Amino acid sequence: MDIFIQQLINGVTLGSVYAVVALGYTMVYGIIQLINFAHGEVVMIGAMVAFSVITALAPGGWPPLMVVAAGTIVAIPVCMAIGYGLERIAYRPLRNAPRLAPLISAIGMSIILQHLALLVWSRNFIAFPQIIKSEPYHIGGAIITNVQIAIIATSVAMMAGLALMVYRTRLGTAMRATAQNPQVAGLMGVDINRIIAVTFLIAAALAAVAGVMVGSYYGIAHYQMGSLLGLKAFSAAVLGGIGNLPGAMLGGVLLGVVEALGAGYIGDFTNNWFGSNYQDVFAFIVLIAVLVFRPTGLLGERVGDRT
Amino acid sequence: MKHSKLALTLIAAAIGVIGCGEEKKPEPPKVEAPKPPPPPPSIEIKIGSVAPLTGGIAHLGKDNENGVRLAVDEANAAKIKIDGKDAKFVMMGEDDQADPKVGTTVAQKLVDAKVAGVVGHLNSGTSIPASSIYNGAGIPVISGSATNPKLTEQGFKVQFRVVGRDDQQGPAIASYLATNAKPRVVAVIDDATAYGEGLANEVEKTLTAAKIKVLPREKGTDKTTDWKAVLTKLKGKRPDAIFYGGMDATGGPLMKQGRELGIKAVFAFGDGACTDEMSKLAGDAAEGLLCSQAGIPVKAASQKFLDAYKKAFNVDPILYAPFTYDAANMLIDAMKRADSADPAKYLPELAKLSFTGATGKIEFDDKGDRKDAEMTIFTMKGGKIEPIAIIKGGNSMTVDEYLKMAAPAVPAEAPKPAAEPARDEAKK
Amino acid sequence: MKGRNPALIWVGAGLVAIALLALPFALAQAGTAWVRITNFAILYVLLALGLNIVVGFAGLLDLGYIAFYALGAYVYALLASPHFNLHLPFWLTLPFGALVACLFGVLLGAPTLKLRGDYLAIVTLGFGEIIRIFLNNLARPVNITNGPQGVSRIDPFRLGGFDFGKSETLFGLAFSAPIKYYYFLLAVMIVVIITTIRLQNSRIGRAWEAVREDETAARAMGIDTTSIKLLAFAIGASFGGLAGGMFSAIQGFISPESFVLVESIMVVSMVVLGGMGNVWGVILGAVLLSFAPEVLRYTVEPVQKSLFGRSLVEPEVIRMLLFGLAMVLIMRFRPAGLLPSAVRKRELAERKE
């Protein structure tokens, strides 16, 4: 039983990271029905910038939490600038183009961002300075560390903040209006271009935070780390119902838990014919099964069809 | 409309560029810095180096290439004469992106460019398909890092390697683990790559033969950074030791998370994760790690190499640079002995060469593998990996014993201090 | 087509044919590497044409297409290598690989029929990964695919005494192995192109177009949308399987790392950049994207040297940067692709109003 609890803790932590990245995908999708394929790269840049700041400040003797916070504070504007640039260069000119065109220009932007990062931060795997001592807390037989608690708490806080913003502010109202019908929202006096740009900025800020979380939790960053993470988070967003904020959160956590349980139990249930190597297969099968029975994801309602 | 015109112009320009590119094909040899005034009889000898320079293991690729570059620069500084002419060695560095398809393309490119020999490729997955192309052209190729046994089992006379095979290294680390840590239950994990799985299979074989219980294999990928689920499962089975076949980038997080979960088992890794980097990635958790490398420890064999590398590239070698350095030096040495850069002439010399380099003494067997390769076991102590044992012919001895046993071998090819050639390419 | 002079078309076709036949020898002058690059480009043309049926004709976004290439490659490799000690002739294994890929195409298609747009994309992506993970792991407990170690020493094509893997001199011309494969690939490519064009202009092609433009309306018109979509998956997949078998034979060694997600994305890019739905556009996209990195490989460093006297940035990084930039720019200025299909052109014109 304690092993099961431990797997849940593992899964929820990983899932929280997915969720924060998935929020970025889902926000952009909700508003312009586009998959921002370069979002994972923004996460990577966030981790890299935070790495530079943390490495520079680590020997200064500041409290570790402040160092990480400083890293985050620098990473956020950098990522926002990149998010904004992405929107202006790769998406805005293509808003009326066939649906796959922005996908390709986003892939192009991913390649560019990755290799710019290679030039700045080298092609090496980058080890984060281990400044935060991980403190284990015991729950039954399971262990949860302070870093894991911080990650889960941060992602819940971000989700709550985002929900407040979207459902309680004028900006949020404008965003929802744009998401429902850009033309009509425009007629009602919403500056669509501004709203879309703001959406990208918020998504990028989330990505920055996610980057810092990933970097400091796993202690490692690499110029290609964004693609796999982005892919997982995108799957999570689809699982929850893309375009739907709580859906992204749910999808993220669920995917994390499914992966952890998959790695933990497939072997035992199949008499070791299949093992942890099929963890991703298991995750994708769950995803496909959900989509077959609920073609728009767990919480999704809109039928995304603009092929 | 304005846009589409501009686009057409751009495309036209692009096509123009491509066109020009193709015309230029008999490509100008890569010029190495300012050329000295050419003394009349000189001969240019191209040595290819292939490794992934973009993609997930690009850092290791650059490390491999640097090893070759250092050897080539030193050879040029030493003013070697071949066939009575001043030999000028030129390295052609190619990026195979760790993609087998690109691997064969660049192999063909090097064959077209009439290189005298090749050091590479980094991965077994690119080396195996490429080797048949080199074989067709009769060009000797030495890998400094591809450990898959299959590479030299294809029966190609031109294929050599200076690194230990999986089935040499796996048994070494496994038997050391078995005799020294005396585990009852061992968990084996790999990263589902040709390298990681190959090594893990050999370790499992040796452990099973030693009557040690091995748990069902667990796997991640070469990009896995979250090992908690796998480790949690293993924790329930209480292994005394955990072996991981994979690289340091994934091995570091694995070990760190293992200790976080309170796993007390001994961690043992292969050469891919036998680097100082482990202590940066895993912090204090890396202490006590056991790992193996092919050859004798570079620190024992050739401080000169380490110094020269550091001086030339301003970084420390990461992993396989000493091997590619030795490989390139062996090509050059064989050419010197044959007094020819013609592959057909120096290949027999290469096959029977006895060479002492940065990774110890190297001789090839009939297949082209390193003969009776020594393996060194390291442990992580105070953030650095330290050699604790050398395994030769199944016997384990300490480093001091080994040094006493092996007569102080004077390196046949003492690396000459490198002159300081222009080093623009090496800078990032 | 009606207004053109048929004689001119024949002359033009003849010239193109002569150019294609002479091409490998011209390329070989520059280096056999270029013949090899061309062969891979033709394989990508086949893949792009296959994917174009699914994405361009039927409008179903498939991000896992490389799985069919992988299936074709593995079927060939397992039936013609020392791995199982089977050495079946290629004229059996190649079509069989296409058939297996085709079956899997239907298998994938069936559960995804209800899904639309991006949901379909993620499911196909998942399918592609599932196939790759199975190929990578079916080495234990029973060794089927040999896992990440891959399958080596795969037989080249052999027909009687004629071996595609060996160089020989015929009619005074040096036929290296890549040149032999070039002619084989060329022939297959022409057959596939003709098939594709015939399909596009058939009842089936029009049904695909109807489904793509408006599935509900198409169903109302009496089109069996289920089977027409499955047909698109099946035909697209079999092209992929065919290309995979040939890849296997040319390489002589395959492992799962050749069939990763990036490859799928590459093929999608070829289709979209060239112009979805337009056969010639798709071919152009495939040729451009497979040649671009190689051309850059040969040009970046010399150009840099001549401009600045030395390499400022490593050539392989510039190569990737330029590659990414080209994708962004082409989409920026030609959003429907370099050679858009007639339907797309019309659509774009309407939207601009």
ipTM: 0.90
CB contact under 8 A, B253 and A222: no
Identify the closest residue of chain C to A118 by CA–CA distance: C317
B163 neighbors B185 (Cβ within 8 angstroms): no
Would you state the torsion angle of the CA atoms of residues C214, C217, C222, C226, taken in this order, to the nearest 10 degrees? 40
Number of neighbours of residue A198 by Cβ within 10 angstroms = 18
On whether residue C343 sits in a domain, the answer given is no
Chosen from C36, C175, C308, C322 to mutate, greatest number of chain B CBs within 10 A: C36
> Can you give the residue range of the structural domain that contains C259?
32-270
Chosen from A32, A94, A107 to mutate, greatest number of chain C CBs within 10 A: A107
User: Sign of dihedral through CA atoms B168, B170, B171, B176?
Assistant: positive
Q: How far is B233 from chain A (nearest CA, A)?
A: 5
A241 neighbors A251 (Cβ within 8 angstroms): yes
In the prediction, which pLDDT does C344 show? 65
Rounded CA-CA distance C283/C73 in Å is 22
Q: How far is A56 from chain C (nearest CA, A)?
A: 25
A220/B contact by beta carbon, under 8 A: yes
Identify the closest residue of chain B to C335 by CA–CA distance: B4
| Chain C residues close to B247, C-beta within 8 Å | none
SS (H, E, C) C76-130: HHHHEECCCCEECCHHHHHHHHHHHHHHHHHHHHHHHCCCCHHHHHHHHHHHHHH
On whether residue C318 sits in a domain, the answer given is no
In the prediction, which pLDDT does C353 show? 44
In the prediction, which pLDDT does C89 show? 93
In the prediction, which pLDDT does A213 show? 92
Number of neighbours of residue B161 by Cβ within 10 angstroms = 28
Rounded CA-CA distance B129/C272 in Å is 31
Residues 118-157 of A with CB under 8 A from C: 118-119
A250 neighbors A300 (Cβ within 8 angstroms): no
CA C40 to chain centre: 9
- Domain check: are C186 and C77 in the same one? yes
On whether residue C298 sits in a domain, the answer given is no
- Domain check: are C20 and C128 in the same one? no
Chains within contact range of chain A (3+ C-beta pairs < 8 Å)? B, C
CB contact under 8 A, B7 and C150: no
Given B20, B25, B99, which is nearest C31 (Cβ)? B25
Q: Any bridge partners for residue B55, and if so which? A: none
Q: Where are the domains of chain B?
A: 42-163+299-371, 167-294+376-405
Whether omega before C83 lies within 30 degrees of 0, making that bond cis, reads: no
Q: Which amino acid is at C179?
A: I
In the prediction, which pLDDT does C241 show? 96
Rounded CA-CA distance B420/B280 in Å is 31
Q: Which of B151, B152, B153, B149 is nearest to B165 (CA)?
A: B149
In the prediction, which pLDDT does B428 show? 37
On whether residue C335 sits in a domain, the answer given is no
Q: Any bridge partners for residue B385, and if so which? A: B380
Given C31, C139, C258, which is nearest B100 (Cβ)? C258
Chains within contact range of chain B (3+ C-beta pairs < 8 Å)? A, C
On whether residue C282 sits in a domain, the answer given is no
Q: Which of C144, C150, C262 is nearest to B197 (CA)?
A: C150
Chains within contact range of chain C (3+ C-beta pairs < 8 Å)? A, B
Rounded CA-CA distance C77/C240 in Å is 15
Rounded CA-CA distance C14/A213 in Å is 62
B266 neighbors B291 (Cβ within 8 angstroms): no
B162 neighbors B301 (Cβ within 8 angstroms): no
Rounded CA-CA distance B365/B358 in Å is 19
- Domain check: are C3 and C102 in the same one? no
DSSP state of B97: T
CB contact under 8 A, B216 and A134: no
Q: How far is A187 from chain B (nearest CA, A)?
A: 27
CB contact under 8 A, A123 and B229: no
- Domain check: are C19 and C101 in the same one? no
Contacts for A38 with CB less than 8 Å, ≥ 6 apart: A86, A90, A106, A107, A109, A110, A113
B228/A contact by beta carbon, under 8 A: yes
Residues of chain C with pLDDT under 70: 1-4, 309-312, 344-353
Percent with pLDDT over 70 in chain A: 97
Q: Which of C36, C39, C42, C52 is nearest to C212 (CA)?
A: C52
- Domain check: are C103 and C5 in the same one? no
Contacts for B119 with CB less than 8 Å, ≥ 6 apart: B47, B48, B49, B50, B64, B67, B68, B141, B142, B143, B144, B324, B327, B328, B331
- The pLDDT tens digits along chain B (428 residues) read 445 444 444 444 444 444 444 444 444 444 455 555 555 578 999 999 999 988 778 888 999 999 999 999 999 999 998 888 899 999 999 999 888 889 999 999 999 999 999 998 998 889 999 999 999 899 999 999 898 888 999 889 999 999 888 888 899 999 999 999 899 999 999 999 888 999 999 999 999 999 999 999 999 998 899 999 999 999 989 999 999 999 888 999 999 999 989 999 999 999 889 888 888 889 889 999 999 987 777 766 678 899 999 999 998 888 889 999 999 999 999 999 999 999 999 999 999 999 988 888 899 999 999 987 788 899 999 888 888 998 887 778 887 787 777 644 444 444 444 444 444 444 33
Given A97, A292, A307, which is nearest C335 (Cβ)? A97
B167-294+376-405, CATH topology level: Rossmann fold (3.40.50)
Looking at per-residue confidence, does A44 or B295 come out higher?
Answer: A44
In the prediction, which pLDDT does C173 show? 79
Rounded CA-CA distance B287/B310 in Å is 26
Rounded CA-CA distance B237/B226 in Å is 19
- Domain check: are C221 and C245 in the same one? yes
In the prediction, which pLDDT does B299 show? 67
Reported confidence tier of residue A53, pLDDT bands at 50, 70, 90: very high
Rounded CA-CA distance C172/C174 in Å is 7
- Domain check: are C253 and C172 in the same one? yes
Q: How far is C156 from chain A (nearest CA, A)?
A: 32
CB contact under 8 A, C31 and B4: no
Q: How far is C353 from chain A (nearest CA, A)?
A: 11
On whether residue C45 sits in a domain, the answer given is yes
- Domain check: are C4 and C82 in the same one? no
B42-163+299-371, CATH topology level: Rossmann fold (3.40.50)
CB contact under 8 A, C114 and A281: no
Q: Which of C177, C175, C179 is nearest to C166 (CA)?
A: C177
- Domain check: are C24 and C158 in the same one? no
Identify the closest residue of chain C to B3 by CA–CA distance: C333
| Chain B residues close to A126, C-beta within 8 Å | none
- Domain check: are C241 and C168 in the same one? yes
Structure tokens given for B205? 């074989």
Phi, psi (rounded to 5 degrees) for A59: -75, -5
What does the mean pLDDT of chain A come to? 90
CB contact under 8 A, B233 and A3: yes
- Domain check: are C262 and C208 in the same one? yes
Rounded CA-CA distance C116/C122 in Å is 10
In the prediction, which pLDDT does B360 show? 84
Q: Which of B354, B361, B360 is nearest to B301 (CA)?
A: B360
In the prediction, which pLDDT does B2 show? 44
- H or E element, residue B389: strand B384-392
Domain count, chain C: 2
- Domain check: are C59 and C13 in the same one? no
Q: Which of A236, A20, A18, A4 is nearest to A141 (CA)?
A: A4
